[in-house]
Amino acid sequence: MQQFIQPPETSSLAHQVRLALQEDVGSGDITAQLIPEDRYSQARVITRQEGVFCGGPWVREVFRQLDTRVQVSLLVKEGERLVAGQTLFRLQGPARALLTGERTALNFVQTLSATASHCRELADRVAHTRVKLLDTRKTLPGLRLAQKYAVTCGGCHNHRIGLFDAFLIKENHIAAAGSIQAAVEAARKLAPGKPVEVEVENLAELNQALKAGADRIMLDEFSLEQTREAVAITQGRAGLEASGSITRKNLVAVAETGVDFISLGTLTKDIQSLDLSMRLIG
């Protein structure tokens, strides 16, 4: 299971930006053409609210693809906490390019910063425990790698990236395979180096998953009492991941049970975009 500490590789990032520009610019920015082609300007982008910054590489790529004459000066670092009114970056170059790229650049930053900000808030809540908060595959289509990178900028961690890098054996997989033991054995034979996680719904299934040798066990919709009992039974023989019906209200209580991980689809899907603004200053 991969942990992003750097942005996605250049080809992936460039592809994301290319699609976003095609969607927005299409056959051409007709409004920007009202401005003389030789006019150069400067601009600054501010945040109207506090949060955590993420998305600088996407800003650079947006303007690289539009016009290499645009100079991007990032004034904050990835993962840096922001205050309302703070300037995030400055731009200098052809006015047409600045205005054409404005919305695409801000869309990336407002979305990725929102993800990072939400993750930082929740990570801070459980910082007194040893638990790691994990994202899921509940990401915006086409922005999987970008959002998972933003998760790490906010101090949380990545679960599997997709269906290809780790096994997650759920109820239907178990039913089709015949048993937890059979499913785990089949996974080991199919891809010996891949992590194997089993989702369980009760303590009896937990014991079956432990006997089968699962690397990690997901406790699905366990109560706090059941989760604490699962920790006592497991005694470190497998990683324990709590999942299901976990909210801001009970997050700390779940973390304090002693589980190793808590997976939260909300890290990437229940986010509110950071409020940004760009203004030409010359």
Query: Would you please indicate which residues are annotated as catalytic (active-site) residues?
Result: 103, 138, 170, 199, 220
d(C-alpha 134, C-alpha 13), whole Å: 22
Within 154-280, where are the H helices?
Answer: 171-177, 180-190, 203-212, 224-234, 251-255, 266-269
d(C-alpha 64, C-alpha 162), whole Å: 29
The answer to whether the CB of 3 falls within 8 A of the CB of 166 is no
Q: What are phi and psi of 264, to 5 degrees?
A: -140, 110
As a whole number of angstroms, the longest Cα–Cα distance in the chain is 72
d(C-alpha 187, C-alpha 4), whole Å: 25
Cα Rg for the chain, rounded, in angstroms? 22
- Per-position DSSP letters for 55-88, written without gaps between them: -HHHHHHHHHHH-TT-EEEE-S-TT-EE-TT-EE
Within the chain, where are the H helices?
Answer: 10-25, 56-66, 95-125, 144-153, 171-177, 180-190, 203-212, 224-234, 251-255, 266-269
d(C-alpha 277, C-alpha 87), whole Å: 10
The answer to whether the CB of 170 falls within 8 A of the CB of 199 is yes
Tokens encoding 165: 């890098």
Euclidean distance between the first and final Cα of the chain, in Å? 47
